Amino acid sequence: DFGERKGQAERMLGLMDVFLKNDPISLQKDILHHVEYTVARSRFSFDDFEAYQALAHSVRDRLIERWHDTLIHFKKEDPKRVYFLSLEFLMGRSLSNIVINLGIRDQFADALSQLGFDFEVLAEQEGDACLGNGGLARLSACQMDSLATLDYPAVGYGLRYQYGLFRQVIVDGFQHEQPDYWLNFGNPWEIERVHITYPVKFYGTVTDEFLNGEKCKVWVPGEMVEAVAYDNPIPGYGTRNTINLRLWAAKPSDQHDMESFNTGDYVDAVVNRQRAESISSILYPDDRSYQGKELRLKQQYFFVSASVQDIFRRFKDTHKKFDEFPEKVALQLNDTHPSLAIAEVMRVLLDEEHLSWHRAWDIICKIFSFTTHTVSPEGLEKIPVDLLGNLLPRHLQIIYDINFNFVEELKKMIGLDYDRLTRMSIVEEGAVKNIRMANLSVICSHTVNGVSRLHSELLRTKLFKDFYDLWPHKFQYKTNGVTQRRWIVVSNPSLCALISKWLGTEAWIRDIDLLIGLRDYATNAELHQEWKMVKKVNKIRLAEYIEAMSGLKVSLDAMFDVQTKRIHEYKRQLLNILGIIHRYDCIKNMDKNDRKKVVPRVCIIGGKAAPGYEIAKKIIKLCHVVAERINNDNDIGDLLKLVFIPDYNVSVAEMVIPGADLSQHLSTAGHEASGTGSMKFLMNGCLLLATADGSTIEMVEEIGQDNMFLFGAKAHEVVALRKKGPTLKVPLQFSRVVRMIRDGHFGFEDYFKSLCDKIEGTSDYFLLGADFMSYLEAQAAADKAFVDEERWTKMSILSAAGSGRFSSDRTIQEYAENTWDIQPCRCPF
Ligand code: TH1
C-alpha cells in the first residue's frame, strides 16, 4: 500500500535521509544525537557505557536500513527460504562483528577518536549474548553469519531467554553459578515486534468433530501463551544482505485465564498470568544431556509453534496451494530439540488446513532436514509419553499415527524382525514409555546430516545403522565450520592485516579458499618475523588478562598451551591435568642441567561444568589445587604455570584463542561428533595436540601429519581397549600421578576419591590410562618443535593456511546445494 500512496511516499523519501552517511561528521552527529535522545544523557557528560550505547544505536540504524532492504528484496523475489530452527544461539558480542560486516569499522573508529573515545574500549562495554551452551550454539551463530554473507534467503528461529547461560564464578577453586540476567542494560541489537505475536496452546483435550461432513480433530487447549517476536538483524560481509534471527519471548495471552478473572479473584489472576513468562525465562545449562523436564518441553513447543505459524503466515501471504510449500520452504532441525516441528506442521496441515493425511505426509517428507550432533545412544533425546500426552495431546496422537504407518511400511520391507522393529520404532516401550525424538527426526526428514566424516560413519554403522540400511540415500554429512569474520577479522585484527598484506587482498574474508596462498610463504623469513610479532602481540594481551584476573605473571617466552571448552569426562580435561602433574613431578626430580632443557609452559584451562555434573565440578577444583601448588612453588618458577580462566564464553575465547601457541583437543576417539574450537585455533595459527576424533581427522588431511601432534587410540580401537578392561596394563607414570592425588599431595583427598576411582581399573571408560603414554609422547614432540622457532613458525603458518575447509562458508554452501536446495538471493547495493 506504500506504493499506492505515491505522493505520500515521495514526501517521506524527501524527508528522510535514506542511507545514512558514513563520513566522520555524520557519524559524530549521529552518535551525539543518540547520547542526547536515545540514551538520554547530556552530550556534555556521559561515560564509556553510555557512549557504547549511543554508538550501538548509530550502528543499529545503519543495520536496519540494510535489513529492511533485504527483507523487501526477499519478499519481491519470493525465493525458497531455509528456516533454521535452533534452541540455542551463542552470539557473544555484536558491535565489532556488525561494523566489520557493514564495512564501516574504520569510519566509526576515526569518528570516535575525534570525539576522544577509543572504539575498542567502547566495544568492551558490551556484554555477551549467551543464549546457548557450547559448540552447538556457537555453530548456529557462525552459520547465521555465513548464510547472510553468502546471500542465502534464510531465517533463524530461536528463543529469547531472559537468563542466558549461567556465569561461572570460582570461589576457593569451586565453581559457583550466577544468573546471567543479560537484558538488564538493554539490548540495542534486537527489535521488539509487538505486533508480531502468535498464540501458543498447551494441555487440554482432543475431540472428534464433524466439519462439512468430514471427521476432524479439534484440540481444546487448557492454557494459552502469547509468543512475541524479537528480531535480530544479522549482516553479511561484503554484501547488503542482512538476514533475520527471530527470537520468541513468552508473554501472558489476553485469552489466558478468562475463567479466573470472571470468578473475581483479580489479583491472583494477574499473578498467575505472570507464569507464562517463565517459558522463555531460562536456558537449560545441560550440554548434551536430557532430563525430560516439562518446562524444557514447553520451551521446545513454544518456539516451534510460533515459528511454524510465522512460516505459514509468510507462505500464505503469496501462495494458495500447499503443493507449492516444498518449493518455498526448507526446515532445518538443529539437533532434535526443535523436532516437535514435524508434528506441529503435520497438525496444522491436517487440522487447520484440512489436507488429507496423504497430502500432508507428502509435504512433511519434502521439507525437513535434520542434523544430529550426538555420538552416543545415551545422548539422544527422549520424551516420556505421559509428559508429551499431557502437554500436547494432539501431537502425541500424530506421532503415534506417523509411527503406525512407518512400522506397517517397515514390516513390508523387512518382515517381522521384531528386534529391529523395536529398535526403529519412534515409541520406546519399557517401564517408562518414551518418544525417541531422533527416530522421529530421521523418519520424517529427507536428509540426515552428521557434523564430520567420522561422525557420519558412526551414524551409519552404529547409531542409525538400521535406518541407514533402509534409506542409505538419506545420510549425508557436512563437516562443521566456523566463520573467519568472527574468529580472525574481529578477534585477531593483527593477523587479519598480515594475511591480507601477504595475500595482497582482503578477498579471503569472503572467499576462504584463498588462505591456501599463505603456503607459498611458509618458509619466507620476512613473513616469519611478522608472524611471530603478531603472536607476541596476542600473547601480551592474554598475559595481561591473566594477570588482571589472577595476579599471576606469566612469561611470554613460555609456550601458551590452552584447553578451553565445556568440562566433560569425554573431553578429558583430566588427562591434561594429569599430564601437568606428571610434568611438575619430572621437573621437581631434575637436576639443574636438565632443567635448562625444559620448555617453559603456561597451561591454560577454561570451561564451564553443568551445574548438576559433579565429576566435572571436581575436575575444576582439581585444576585449582594443582595450580595453587605449582604456581607457588618457587623451585619451579617460570618453567610451569597453570591457570584456570573463569567464565569462558565467546568474548573470552576471542582473546584466548589468538594468544595460544598450542591447543589441546583430547576427546576419547569416537566421542566428539565434530569439535569446532579446534577450527578457531587452527585459523589463528595455533598448533593442535589432538586425538584422531571428529573433525581433527579431516584437519590432519588438510595440513599434514607433520604439522599436528596426534596421539591416542583410534575410534575403531576404543571398543576393543574397553573390552580388555582389567587386563589392560596402565603405565607406571599414570598410576604415580593418580596416587599423588589419592595421597593428598594437593589436599582434598576425600573429595577427589571418586574422581580417581573413575579413571582407575575397569572404570576408566574414557581410557585415560590407555592413552597416557601416547599423550606424553605427543607433548614431548610439541616441546621439541617449540624449541626450533623456525620449524614452529612454519607449522603455525601451514596450520592457518590449511584451515580454509573449516570455514562455515563451505559448510553452508554444501547445505544449500545438497540438503536445502536453495539459491542465493542477493540484494542490490
Ligand atoms: C556439540 C558436539 O558435542 C560437538 O562435537 C560439535 O562440534 C557441536 O555440537 C557442533 O556440531 C553438541 N552440543 C550439544 C548440545 C546439546 C545437546 C547435544 C549436543 S552435541 C544441548
Q: Which atom of ligand 1 is nearest to the CA of 694?
A: 5
Q: Is 687 helix (H, G, I), strand (E, B) or coil?
A: strand
Judge if the beta carbon of residue 305 lies within 6 A of ligand 1: no
Active site residue 29: no
CA-to-CA distance for 493 and 323, rounded, in angstroms? 49
User: Residue 3 has what pLDDT?
Assistant: 53
| 373 catalytic residue (yes or no) | yes
Whether 458 and 546 share a structural domain: no
Centre of ligand 1 to C-alpha 665, Å, is 15
The verdict on residue 5 lying in a domain is no
- H/E/C letters for each residue in 707-737? HCEEECCCHHHHHHHHHHHHHCCCCHHHHHH
Task: Kindly state whether residue 787 falls inside one of the protein's structural domains.
Answer: yes
Those residues of the chain that have pLDDT short of 50 are none
With a 6 Å cutoff on the Cβ, whether 371 touches ligand 1 is: no
> Which of 288, 334, 482 for a ligand 1 pocket mutation test, highest count of atoms within 8 Å of Cβ?
288
User: Candidates 282, 373, 695: which one to mutate for ligand 1, based on the most atoms within 8 Å of Cβ?
Assistant: 373
Give the whole-angstrom CA distance, residue 472 versus residue 470. Answer: 6
Residues 149 and 113 in one domain: no
Copy the grid coordinates of residue 502. 601477504
Catalytic one of 676, 691, 793, 811: 676
Name 267's Cβ contacts closer than 8 Å, sequence gap at least 6: none
Q: Is 158 in the pocket of ligand 1 (CB under 6 A)?
A: no
Contact 165 CB / ligand 1 (< 6 Å):
no
The set of residues, in sequence order, having a beta carbon less than 8 Å from that of 578 and lying 6+ positions away, is 734, 737, 738, 768, 772
Q: Which domain holds residue 87?
A: 78-93+128-477
Q: In angstroms, how far is CA 753 from the centroid of its own chain?
A: 33
What whole-number distance in Å separates Cα of residue 750 and Cα of residue 740?
A: 13
Q: How far is CA 258 from CA 101, 218, 273, 274, 653, in A?
A: 48, 20, 10, 14, 49
CA dist., res. 332 & res. 371, Å (int):
8
Active-site residue 76, yes or no? Answer: no
CA of 600 to the centre of ligand 1 (A): 34
Q: Residue 673 to residues 34, 459, 667, 682, 697: CA-CA distances in angstroms? A: 46, 10, 10, 18, 11
Distance between Cα 291 and ligand 1 center (Å): 16
- From 136, 381, 671, 808, the mutation candidate for ligand 1 (largest count of ligand atoms within 8 A of CB) is 136
Q: How many CB atoms lie within 10 A of CB 717?
A: 15
Nearest to 476 by CA among 752, 90, 17, 811: 811
4 located within any domain: no
Q: Whose CA is nearest to atom 14 of ligand 1?
A: 288
298 is an active site residue: no
Q: Are 670 and 375 in contact (CB under 8 A)?
A: yes
For the chain, the domain total comes to 3
Strand ranges inside 26-173, DSSP E: 81-85, 89-92, 129-131, 154-159, 164-171
Encoded amino acid at 332, one letter? Q
363 and 350 Cβ atoms separated by less than 8 Å: no
Shared-domain flag, residues 109 and 185:
no
Query: Cell numbers at residue 10, please?
Result: 515521495
CA 600 to CA 507: how far, in whole Å? 38
Shared domain for 28 and 86, answered yes or no, is: no
CA of 610 to the centre of ligand 1 (A): 14
- Answer for the pair 87, 299: CB distance below 8 angstroms, yes or no: yes
**CA-based nearest residue to 795, from 702, 685, 644:** 685
**Alpha carbon of 678 to ligand 1 centroid (Å):** 14
**Domain end position, chosen among 477, 496, 516:** 477
How far is the C-alpha of 713 from the C-alpha of 707, rounded, in Å? 19
Same domain, 560 and 683: yes
> Does any domain span residue 825?
no
User: Would you call 668 a catalytic residue per the annotation?
Assistant: no
What is the crossing angle of helices 789-801 and 768-787, to 10°?
Answer: 110
Q: Which of 477, 497, 527 is the last residue of a domain?
A: 477
Residues 707 and 785 in one domain: yes
**Do 688 and 714 have their domain in common?**
yes
Q: Given this model, what pLDDT does residue 644 score?
A: 98
Rg (CA), the chain: 28
For the record, the C-alpha cell of 543 comes out as 598475559
Protein residue closest via CA to atom 12 of ligand 1 = 136
Q: How many CA atoms lie within 13 A of 373 on its CB side?
A: 20
Angle between helices 789-801 and 525-550 (to 10 degrees): 90
Q: How many CB atoms lie within 10 A of CB 291?
A: 8
| Cα 612 to averaged position of ligand 1 atoms, centre (Å) | 18
Please tell me if the CB atom of residue 682 comes closer than 6 angstroms to any atom of ligand 1.
no
- Asked if residue 150 belongs to a domain, the reply is yes
Strand partners, 81: 329
- The answer, yes or no, to whether any atom of ligand 1 lies below 6 A from the CB of 105, is no
How far away, in angstroms, is 105 Cα from ligand 1 center?
33
CB 739 within 8 A of CB 731: no
**Model confidence pLDDT, tens digit, residues 547-574:** 999 999 999 999 999 999 999 999 999 9
Q: Give strand pairing partners of 283.
A: none
Which of 362, 251, 337, 334 shows the shortest CA–CA distance to 345?
362
The helix (H) or strand (E) run that includes residue 495 is helix 493-503
Marked catalytic residue, from 394, 485, 665, 680: 680
d(CA 290, CA 279): 17
Q: Phi and psi of 441, rounded to 5°?
A: -65, -40
* 620 close to ligand 1 (CB < 6 Angstrom): no
Give whole-number Cα distances, 814 to 270, 452, 475, in Å.
50, 13, 14
Instruction: Return the residue whose CA atom lies nearest to atom 13 of ligand 1.
Output: 136
Q: Please report the atom of ligand 1 found closest to the CA of residue 284.
A: 21
Do residue 698 and residue 746 come from a single domain?
A: yes
Whether ligand 1 lies within 6 angstroms of the CB of 672 is answered as yes
Q: What is the pLDDT of residues 461-519, one digit of tens each?
A: 999 999 999 999 999 999 999 999 999 999 999 999 999 999 999 999 999 999 999 99
**Looking at the domain assignment, is residue 245 inside a domain?**
yes
One domain for residues 445 and 354: yes
Decide the pairing of beta strands 709-711 and 687-691: parallel
Collapse the DSSP code of 777 into the 3-class scheme (helix H, G, I; strand E, B; otherwise coil) and give the result.
helix
**Cβ distance 679 to 585 under 8 Å?**
no
* Residue 765 and residue 655 in one domain: yes
In a domain, 770, yes or no: yes
Residue 829 domain flag: no
**Nearest one of 348, 269, 303 to 87, comparing CA atoms:** 303
Query: Strands, DSSP E only, in 69-186?
Result: 81-85, 89-92, 129-131, 154-159, 164-171, 174-180
The strand pairing partners of 216, in sequence order, are 209
**Domain final residue pick, 459, 477, 495:** 477
Helix H segments across 127-221? 135-149
CB contact burial 48-71 (16+ within 10 A = b; e otherwise): eebbbbbbbbbbbebbebbbebbb
User: Are residues 460 and 602 part of one domain?
Assistant: no
373 alpha carbon to ligand 1 midpoint, in Å? 5
Q: Where are the beta strands (DSSP E) in 473-564?
A: 475-477, 559-564
Catalytic, out of 460, 486, 565, 601: 565
Pairing outcome for strands 214-220 and 223-235:
unpaired
Whether 481 contacts 811, CB under 8 Å: yes
CATH number of the domain where residue 771 is located = 3.40.50.2000
**Residue ranges with strand state E in 634-718:** 640-645, 662-665, 687-691, 709-711
Q: From CA 319, how far away is CA 13, in angstroms rounded?
A: 31
Distance 679 CA to ligand 1 centre (A): 15
> In sequence order, what are the beta bridge partners of 615?
none
Cell triple for 341: 516441528
> How far is Cα 576 from Cα 596, in angstroms, rounded to an integer?
23
Does 571 qualify as catalytic in the annotation? yes
Is 515 touching ligand 1 by the criterion CB < 6 Å? no
Cα 155 to ligand 1 centroid, rounded to whole Å: 21
One domain for residues 453 and 497: no
Q: How far is CA 116 from CA 28, 96, 122, in A?
A: 11, 19, 11
Is the sign of the CA dihedral 438, 439, 440, 446 positive or negative? positive
Q: Does ligand 1 lie within 6 Å of residue 135's CB atom? A: yes
Name residues whose C-beta falls within 8 Å of residue 707's C-beta, 6 or more positions apart in sequence. Answer: 687, 795, 798, 799, 802
Most informative mutation of 86, 374, 566, 569 for ligand 1 (most atoms within 8 A of CB): 374
Q: Which protein residue has the closest C-alpha to ligand 1 atom 19?
A: 288
Which one of the listed residues 337, 373, 455, 568 is annotated catalytic?
Answer: 373
